[in-house]
Amino acid sequence: QVQLVESGGGLVQPGGSLRLSCAPSGSIFSINAMGWYRQAPGKQREWVASITSGGSTNYAGSVKGRFTISRDNAKNTVYLQMNSLKPEDTAVYYCNSGRYSGSVYYSSDSWGQGTQVTVSS
């Protein structure tokens, strides 16, 4: 099973930026699609963004134009750059090592502990 460790969360004011990082274990990183999800209090976990092994990306409508997912295969790390943050972006953010079928990302059962992002003035 893939071990995932997220980092980079914190408290930021509305309009601010944060960059999250995720470092999966093992040598599968370069051949797996990766995704970011988030879960706000009292809500279900939702998909935020995903990236193929080749670097193609997809975004949820609520974050498109503000968030950027990227990966560095040499560093075995996937990132989520979050700009123009809003209070509704407040959630625990998780990365996931999954797969694509066509243009749809499917998560695996491997989740990290998550990292808290709080957007508040």
Least reliable range by pLDDT among 7-16, 63-72, 102-111:
102-111
45: tokens are 């976990």
pLDDT for the residue numbered 29: 63
Buried b (16+ CB within 10 A) or exposed e, 38-52: beeeeeebebbbbbb
Segment 5-33 shows an average pLDDT of 88
**Collapsing DSSP states into helix, strand and coil, what is residue 59?**
strand
Strand arrangement of the beta sheet that strand 18-24 belongs to: 4-7, 18-24, 77-82, 67-72
pLDDT for the residue numbered 26: 65
Cα dihedral 65, 46, 112, 63 in deg (nearest 10): 10
